[in-house]
Amino acid sequence: MFGYLLNSNNQLFELARQGSLEIPRFHGRTRQKVWECAYPLVAFLYAGLVPILSSFCSAPVILVNLASEQFSEYVLRNPTSSNSPIISSMFLVFSFLPFFFLFIWGWLGVLEHRSFWTTGLERTGIWQKYSHGALVGTGMMLSPVVVLAMFGLIQVEVDPLVWAGVAALPGVLIMLVGWLVQGAAEETLSRGFLLPVFGIRYGPIWGILVSSIQFSFLHLLNPNLNLIALINLFLFGVFASIYAMKEGGLWGVFAIHSFWNWTQGNLLGLEVSGSTIGGTTLLNLKSRGSDLITGGAFGLEGGLAVTVVLIVGCLIIFRQMSRMKTGVPQPVEEIG
């Protein structure tokens, strides 16, 4: 079952290799060896720094939000909080888009001398991979909601402060734009950048573990975080890693991540990793009962219902990978 997973000739890693992955060269054998050993750790620390650097790019949106709320006391205390889908979507775009065109691309170009496409952005089969990922992400989020609703653990909530129903559809679609950027950015950082850095040097298992741990760390400051939420974030990282390795690229996990969040937050009206984003939703649902199962204030991602979904998802991908040929990289087509 693990033969393909353990093979370092995985297509996602081959993309990085064929992108002329090189690390800086130093004069002196000792200095060069020290740098090569330290390089993955430096990359890991940089991956943790990227979201912090990128968050400063949302400053213009913060100013717009403050002005739109007439610098009220609440907004001054919570400058990134808004019930406007336009402003919320802008926050996502401005906070995460720099992941692509500034920080990750800059690192790859300056330190590794390779193109951005080598993170897993092949141009073949984009629509097929992305649409399939969208269905997977939506289905994975809907499945625990349906099961919980059958047991009376999900109910419809009436909140005058939330724009809900068919009339909210424009706002729901506006929020999708922000989630498309956010999901792709986080996957580029974790699965397109960090996974191959460790996977190529120490083997795929280490790449999966490190990139999944880093993905969990990205959410440490999220409100209402709990232990099960951390475990689920790690499991999502594992699922996304092996899905990307099976597919040989990132288009599918881009869609899974984005539509998972969009379905949860703006189709169903549930909290997304501890936060309510956009103030607009097609259905306005609320969990009830045991927080251990439903996740409580963190949202479904903090409960055992999602744990089961992620474990089943990983087992399905493992099963699919076990049927694939091992050690036979697919042809790589450069797009940049």
3-state secondary structure of 222: coil
207: number of Cβ within 10 Å: 26
Give the whole-angstrom CA distance, residue 227 versus residue 302: 8
Asked if the model's pLDDT at residue 76 lies above 90, the reply is: no
Q: Is 318 inside any structural domain?
A: yes
Q: Which tokens go with 228?
A: 């099960």
Are 305 and 293 within 8 A, CB to CB?
A: yes
Rg over CA atoms, the chain: 20
Q: Is 157 inside any structural domain?
A: yes
Establish how many alpha carbons lie within 13 A of residue 246's alpha carbon, considering only the half-sphere containing its beta carbon: 24
Q: What is the pLDDT of residue 70?
A: 74
- Residue-wise pLDDT for 222-269, tens only, equals 889 999 999 999 999 999 999 999 999 999 999 999 999 999 999 999
| Strand intervals (E) in the chain | 154-156, 163-164, 280-281, 285-287
Domains in the chain, number: 1
Letter string b/e over residues 210-223, b meaning 16 or more CB atoms within 10 A of that residue's CB: bbbbbbbbbbeebe
Which domain, by its residues, includes 293? 3-322
Q: Is 332 inside any structural domain?
A: no
Q: Is 334 inside any structural domain?
A: no
Q: What is the pLDDT of residue 19?
A: 55
**What Å distances lie between residue 62 and 82, 86, 92, 184, 280, CA to CA?**
10, 12, 12, 22, 19
Average pLDDT over every residue of 14-32: 65
Q: What is the pLDDT of residue 242?
A: 94
pLDDT category of residue 168 using cuts at 50, 70 and 90: very high
3-state secondary structure of 155: strand
Percent of the chain's residues with pLDDT above 90: 50
- Residue-wise pLDDT for 142-161, tens only, equals 999 999 999 999 988 887 77
Q: Is 329 inside any structural domain?
A: no
pLDDT category of residue 119 using cuts at 50, 70 and 90: confident
Q: What is the pLDDT of residue 327?
A: 40
Q: Is 296 inside any structural domain?
A: yes
Using CA atoms of 209, 215, 218, 221 in order, give the dihedral in degrees to the nearest 10.
-80
Closest CA to 207 of 196, 218, 215: 196
**Which ranges in 159-226 belong to alpha helices (H)?**
169-187, 195-202, 204-217
Q: Write down the pTM of the prediction.
A: 0.90
29: number of Cβ within 10 Å: 8
One-letter amino acid at 295 equals G
Average pLDDT for the chain: 86
Are 66 and 79 within 8 A, CB to CB?
A: yes
Q: Is 50 inside any structural domain?
A: yes
Q: Is 135 inside any structural domain?
A: yes
One-letter amino acid at 224 equals N
The distance between the two most distant Cα atoms of the chain, rounded to a whole number of Å, is 68
Average pLDDT over every residue of 124-131: 94
pLDDT category of residue 5 using cuts at 50, 70 and 90: low
Q: Between these two residues, 253 and 274, which has the higher pLDDT value? A: 253
